[in-house]
Amino acid sequence: MPYLDQFVIASSATPNGTSWDLEGASWDVIPAASVPVQTSFALLVSVLLTPEEARSDHTLTVSLRDAAGAAIGGMTTDIRGATEEQLAQSPGLPFARFETVLVAQGVVFPDYGRYELHVLWDDEPMREPMLLHVLRPE
């Protein structure tokens, strides 16, 4: 199973050469003056794969669920297997890195409180769900 290396939530992410400019970056909080709140956000995801895993096609899915477990949103991206030429760009490394930005648009959070992000690789959980909180700004 691949390793979920990095996972960052931001209000927006804009490409800047080989990096990303983040606005409103957070690990687990979405501020909301009132609820329900409709918002959009970006998830920056980095996954480490063995060269063997990197050669195959995969699907990365992030499902957003409320405290009761009901789905309120989600994002999916298909990952094409790496070519030998692509893998050769990182000689000597025991892993290949896949990076992507997933954008959630128009997600409605009905209440303040706890939500969960379920990260799936080929429909299998990569780890325990990550917590996300919708909070009133102080």
Contact 96, 49 (CB under 8 A): yes
3-135: CATH topology: Immunoglobulin-like (2.60.40)
The pLDDT value recorded for residue 93 is 76
Q: Map out the domains of the chain as residue ranges.
A: 3-135
Among 69, 75, 131, smallest CA distance to 105 is for: 75
Dist CA 31 CA 136 (whole Å) = 6
With cut-offs at 50, 70 and 90, classify the pLDDT of residue 121: very high
With cut-offs at 50, 70 and 90, classify the pLDDT of residue 29: confident
